[in-house]
Structures are given as C-alpha cells and as structure tokens.
Amino acid sequence: MKTRTRFAPSPTGYMHIGNLRTALYEYLIAKSDGGDFILRIEDTDQKRYVEGATDIIYKTLKRVGMNWDEGPDIGGNYGPYVQSERKPLYAEYAHKLVELGGAHYCFCAQKEEGKETDEDTPEAHIKLKDPCKHIPLDEAKARISAGEPFVVRQNINKKGTSIFHDVVYGDIEIDYDELDEGVLLKSDGLPTYNFANVIDDHLMQITHVVRGNEYISSTPKYNLIYEAFGWTPPVYVHVPPVMKDAQHKLSKRNGDASFQDLVAKGYLPEAILNYIALLGWNPGDEREIFSLQELEKCFSSDRLNKSPAIFDITKLTWMNGCYIRNLSAEEFHKLAMSYYADLPQSIDFAALSAVLQPRIDTLAQIPEETAFLAEVPEYANELYLNKKMKTDMDIALKALCLVLPILENTEVWTNENLFETLKSVAMDNMMKNGQILYPVRIALSGKETTPGGATELACVLGKTETLKRVRKAIEKLS
C-alpha cells in the first residue's frame, strides 16, 4: 500500500512553527517512502474562520517547497479536501455509526446549546450517564423526523484499558473510564474534530497520521470509531510540542513568532525549514545543514524524538547565517535589495551586498548595519583613540590630512587599488597600516564596528561621498 500522509491545518491566519514542523514530518514520511502528501483544510470550527487564511497555508507550503499531491486547489481522487464541503458525508457516517452501536442521538445537549464545540467539555461528559443513551433508536429517529434538534454523541461502552501503538511514544495504555462520550456531530450538522478526522483519514486512505501529542489521550476514542466501522486505524505518529522554554509551548497567541513573522524578521524559508526539521528529529550523525531534498532522502520516523524541543532563536540565527553565506552573490543581492530602500542612490549596492553577505546572519540586520551610509551618526572624537591600532585624535588628524589629497587623485576606485594606495600612504610616512585605515574607517562611518573595512566602505560610498566625509572628519578633528 502506498504511504499517504496528510497535513490538516485549521485556517487560523498564520503558520505556527509547530504546525509547519508537523507538516514537514508528514511530508517527509510520505516522500521518503515514495508516497503522497495530502493537504486537507479543517474548517469545521466556523467561529475560528479567518478570511484569507487558506492562502497563507498554500503560500507557506509552496514557499518552503513542500508541494502537495492532492488538495483543495488541485483536487485528487478523494476530494473535496475542505471539510466544510464534506458536510453531507459526516452526517451520513454519523447516522451509520449510531446504527452500528458506536454512537447515540442526544437531545439534552440542546439545553446548553453552543457548548458542544470541538473542545467539548470533558468534565461534563466523563462517565456521563446520558439519559438519551437509553432512548430506543426508533423513538429517537421519530423525534429527529419531527424536527427536534439533536447531536450525535459517541458511545464508550468498553471497560478496561485501551492499548495502541505510537511510532514515537511506543505502546500507550489509556483507561476507557477516562474517555468522555463527546459530541461527534453538532446540531448544525457539522462534525467535531473528533469525528471528522477519523472519517476523512479513512476515506482519504491516510496510512500515517502525524499530529501533536495533545491528541494521544483521544486516540482510543478514534480507535473505537474505526473499530465500529470495521476499518483499520492508521499508523500513529504523535510528536511532542515545540517549546519556548522548559515550561511553555511556543504559541502565536502568546506573541511567539509564526513562520511569516520569522520571514519578516529576515530569516530565509529554507533555513527555517532546516532548523525545524531538527527540532525533534536527528539524522543519527553530526550533520546539521539539510535541504528539503536531502531530508527526503535521509528522513526516517524512528529518529523522531519524544522529548519536547526548545525553539532556540540563537541556533536558528546561526543556521540562517550559514544559508546566507551559501547563497550566490546574485541571489543574496536580490534579497538584500529590498532592505536598501532608505539608502542614497549614489551607493554602490552590489559592493554593499558583497560586504554584507559574509557578515550578517539575518536580512533584517541590514537597515541597522547600513544606516551610517545614509548619514554619519553623531560620534565623539574619542572614537579615534584605539590602543590596538595605535591611534589617537592627533594621529587620526595627521592620517586623514595625508590621505585626502591622495584619494582626491585616485582614479581607480576599487577595493584592491584603494587598499594598496592607503598602505603605501602608511609606508611612505613610516606609519602602521592601522594608523591610516582605522581613522579612515571612523571618518567614513562614525562607528567602531562596521560591515567591511575602510576601503570597502569607500567603494560602497563612492568617491564623492568618501571625500566629503574625510573632509568633514578633518574639520571635526581640527
């Protein structure tokens, strides 16, 4: 049988990092086995519906290269792939389940209308001796025909312990007593998650269900539904949550970054994907940098980890830096360009990109790193004092006065030529290279640390601006 996995996001309007990681593991389980990856939109909780949210799901998956084989936009043999379009199916199966003894019609929930949501209140229904459970089926059907609103509630008739196997957590035992007879079909005819996931996974012939470990405790309920229908349950792969720290889950609601937030902060989608692949999975060796294609080749679910992983932004930033350095100069320049909007047009942007690429870890560092190119920030002359470079204000003034006429007469404005030129100024005047280069760099930037050295900055700024800044620095020091 072909491996079939599905990503089943609810359209919330953003791509949570944990969800994207689940999608990635689903994708990799399918693709490492020549299988199909299916996209299904779980929009039965209409209260949570957000306009445009499905688009964000499509865009994110496409952006990281996780293409789906079947889904709402491209169709497939098991559609529709949006739950709200499958409404009649759920009702049909819910009635069937009642006939099979796996569920019952319940009329009393109507008194607390609005309560039977996906989060169905377990306290209310644990060991609930639902009076409706004892209404003879014929009588219940007659009431439904007469137009009385109803819900379909699951029957938990078994006693003892349910045991099932999970790829990550091994054998899991849960007492049937702990399960609630929750709502499967709501009074509006829409299913709860607890019902829809089983019906859809079965009808779509999903072989491996990958989802957060918060679903472990409900899995025996799903297995009872599979059993009542005489269907085979899928292979379960429950994954631990992505944590912000030892106590807290990473959560968009608490202001933690979503995939889009990270991209907006200058992280490359490929780096984010690589980083989250390793949040809960390891290749069994020391390798850390993987493209999606490489992951497809070496992924195996037996290396999924059951202890929760902490999202470490420092590590992601480091990895993002590796990805930035791996880009070709053209690719980097193209990405960096959109961060140059506030800089003067006289700047040599290609030279700037060449200076930045080896030095930054996220694209969002660009505005801060380059602000001095638009305007030299206020700085104290004490900045010229540098023990290591053996410079002080007097030496700086002397250096800049020596450099100015030479730069004025320099025609070949390249890093190499400028560097040789300034070195010879040092040599001719029995000064150290640093005693020339350091003051020039301060004069051009007004900053102690800069992306690039003196001559690189001169190239980025161009001759006119460089001379202007050197003259201004001389004035300031005089």
Active-site residue numbers? 252
Q: Which stretch binds ligand GLU (CB under 6 A): 4-12, 255-263, 401-409, 467-475?
A: 4-12
**Using the rule CB under 6 A, which residue among 8, 156, 228, 459 binds ligand GLU?**
8
In angstroms, the CA 453 to CA 358 distance is 13
CB of 157 to ligand GLU, least distance (A): 25
Q: Is the Cβ of residue 78 or residue 379 nearer to ligand GLU in the bound state?
A: 78
Amino acid at position 356, single letter:
L
User: Mapping DSSP to helix (H, G, I), strand (E, B) and coil, where does residue 161 land?
Assistant: strand
Binding mask 36-65 for ligand GLU (x = CB under 6 A): ------x-----------------------
Contacts (CB under 6 A) with ligand GLU, residues 11-40: none
Nearest residue to 154 (alpha-carbon basis) of 133, 175, 181, 132: 181
CB of 419 to ligand GLU, least distance (A): 56
Q: Which stretch binds ligand GLU (CB under 6 A): 2-10, 290-298, 340-348, 407-415?
A: 2-10
User: Mapping DSSP to helix (H, G, I), strand (E, B) and coil, where does residue 237 land?
Assistant: strand
Q: Is the Cβ of residue 237 or residue 470 nearer to ligand GLU in the bound state?
A: 237
**Using the rule CB under 6 A, which residue among 197, 207, 362, 410 binds ligand GLU?**
197
Q: Is the Cβ of residue 197 or residue 362 nearer to ligand GLU in the bound state?
A: 197
Q: Is residue 62 within 8 Å of 101, Cβ to Cβ? A: no
Q: Under rule CB under 6 A, how many of the chain's residues touch ligand GLU?
A: 6
CB of 216 to ligand GLU, least distance (A): 12
CB of 129 to ligand GLU, least distance (A): 30
Q: Is residue 105 within 8 Å of 139, Cβ to Cβ? A: no
User: Do the bridges between strand 235-239 and strand 208-212 make them parallel or antiparallel, or are there none, so unpaired?
Assistant: parallel
User: Do the bridges between strand 309-310 and strand 235-239 make them parallel or antiparallel, or are there none, so unpaired?
Assistant: unpaired
Eight-class DSSP state of 14? S
In angstroms, the CA 290 to CA 298 distance is 10
Q: Using the structure block, give the residue that is written with the tokens 């003196």.
A: 454
Q: Is the Cβ of residue 216 or residue 313 nearer to ligand GLU in the bound state?
A: 216
CB of 10 to ligand GLU, least distance (A): 4
Residue 238, strand partner residues? 211
CB of 3 to ligand GLU, least distance (A): 16
Cα-based angle 147, 151, 156 (whole degrees, multiple of 5): 140
**Sign of the CA dihedral with 121 first, then 127, 131, and 135 last:** positive
Q: Is the Cβ of residue 8 or residue 304 nearer to ligand GLU in the bound state?
A: 8
User: Do the bridges between strand 103-106 and strand 151-154 make them parallel or antiparallel, or are there none, so unpaired?
Assistant: antiparallel
Q: Contact between 9 and ligand GLU (CB under 6 A)?
A: yes
In angstroms, the CA 380 to CA 83 distance is 64
Q: Is the Cβ of residue 197 or residue 445 nearer to ligand GLU in the bound state?
A: 197
**CA dihedral of residues 297, 303, 308, 310 (deg, nearest 10):** -50
CB of 251 to ligand GLU, least distance (A): 13
Q: Which stretch binds ligand GLU (CB under 6 A): 7-15, 54-62, 323-331, 377-385?
A: 7-15
Eight-class DSSP state of 327? S
Q: Which stretch binds ligand GLU (CB under 6 A): 8-16, 228-236, 359-367, 433-441?
A: 8-16
Q: Is the Cβ of residue 42 or residue 181 nearer to ligand GLU in the bound state?
A: 42
Length of the chain: 478
In angstroms, the CA 37 to CA 23 distance is 9
**Using the rule CB under 6 A, which residue among 4, 186, 202, 211 binds ligand GLU?**
211
Q: Is residue 50 within 8 Å of 13, Cβ to Cβ? A: yes
Q: Which stretch binds ligand GLU (CB under 6 A): 3-11, 73-81, 182-190, 296-304?
A: 3-11
Residues that bind ligand GLU (CB under 6 A): 8-10, 42, 197, 211
